[in-house]
Structure 1
Amino acid sequence: MSRTAPVSHVVSLILYGAILALLVVTTFWPDPVEGASVWLMLTIKLVPLLILLPGLLKSRGKTYQWLCFILMIYFTDAVVRAYLTGWAWPPTVMTGLTAGLFVSAIVRIRAMQ
C-alpha cells in the first residue's frame, strides 16, 4: 500500500462529512420548502450516503467504488442548482465538495490496488 492511501482515506472522510453537513444545513436554511416534510427531505438526501458510512470507515474498496457512482447524482444536482440560482454559494460549494470527494475516492481506490 502506498503512502497516499492513508492520506486519501482521511481526505475522503473529511469531504464526506462536509457534504453531509452541507446537506443538513441547506435543508433547514435559508428557508425550508413550504408544504414538504423537512425530515422526509433530509432522509432522502442523506440515506444514500449514510448507507456507505460503515464501509468508508473500514476503508473497503467496493464501498469507495459505489461512492463514486452515488456522487455523480449529487454532483449533477449541484451543478444544475448552481446554474439555475446564478452560482449561489451552497450549490457551488456542493459541486466542489462532490468533485473533490470523487477525486479523493479514485485516488484511494487506485492506492488500494
Structure 2
Amino acid sequence: MEALRKKARITRVITIASYIGLMLLFTLWYMVIHPLEVGKPWVIWALHVLPLACFIPALKSGNPRSHAWLCFVLLLYFIEAVLATTTSVETRIFGAIYTLLTATLFTAAMMYARWGGRFAKASQQAEKTSD
C-alpha cells in the first residue's frame, strides 16, 4: 500500500507541474511571444486556457476520476500540439514544448487516475477491516 501511495504522490506532483507549465506556455506564447497582429490575443489565450482551468478544482481535490476526464480533454490539445510542431517553421519550438507538456500531463494524469484510484480503494478496505 505504501508503494501505491508513493506512486500516486509522484504522479500527482508531475501532473500539477506539467499543468502549470502548460498554462504558462499558453500565457507566454499568446500574450507575449507571438500575439496576433489582428484582433485580440486574449481571446485565443482564453480559448486555450479556460477548458483547462475548469479542472483546477478537480486537481486540487485529487479525485482520480477527474484526472481521467482531464486525459480525455488533453487529447484535443495533443492534436493541436502535433500540428503546431509539423506545420510551420515559426511554431516548431512552441509545438515541440507544447507536445512534450501535453504528453507528460496526459501520462501523469492517467497514471495518477490508476494508482490514486487503487490507493483510495485499498485505504477504504483497510478502514473497513480495522473497524
TM-score (norm 1): 0.92
Q: What's the counterpart of residue 73 of structure 1? A: 76
Unpaired runs of 5+ residues, structure 2, are 119-131
Unpaired runs of 5+ residues, structure 1, are none
Q: Match of 2:33, SS?
A: coil
| 2:113 is equivalent to residue 109 of structure 1 | yes
- Between stretches 84-93 and 70-79, larger displacement belongs to 84-93
Q: What letter matches 1:82 in structure 2?
A: T
Q: Max radius of gyration: which structure?
A: 2
Identity of paired residues, percent?
26
Which structure exhibits the higher relative contact order, with contacts defined as CA atoms closer than 8 Å and separated by 6 or more residues? 1
**Pairing partner for 1:9 from 9, 12, 29:** 12
State the Cα distance separating 1:73 from its structure 2 match: 0.9
Q: What letter matches 2:74 in structure 1?
A: L
| 2:34 is equivalent to residue 31 of structure 1 | yes
Q: Is the 8 A contact 2:30 2:44 kept in 1?
A: yes
Q: What letter matches 2:113 in structure 1?
A: I
Q: Is the 8 A contact 2:84 2:95 kept in 1?
A: yes
Q: What's the counterpart of residue 25 of structure 2? A: 22
- Between stretches 52-61 and 35-44, larger displacement belongs to 35-44
Q: What letter matches 2:60 in structure 1?
A: L
Kindly provide the CA deviation profile for residues 13-53 of structure 1, in whole angstroms up to 9, marking residues without a partner as x.
00000000001111023331122211211111100000001
State the Cα distance separating 1:107 from its structure 2 match: 0.9
| 2:50 is equivalent to residue 47 of structure 1 | yes
| 2:59 is equivalent to residue 56 of structure 1 | yes
> Aligned equivalents of 1:110 and 1:31: distance in 2?
37
How many residues are aligned here?
Answer: 113
Greater fraction of residues in helix: 2
Q: Is the 8 A contact 2:23 2:49 kept in 1?
A: yes
TM-score (norm 2): 0.80
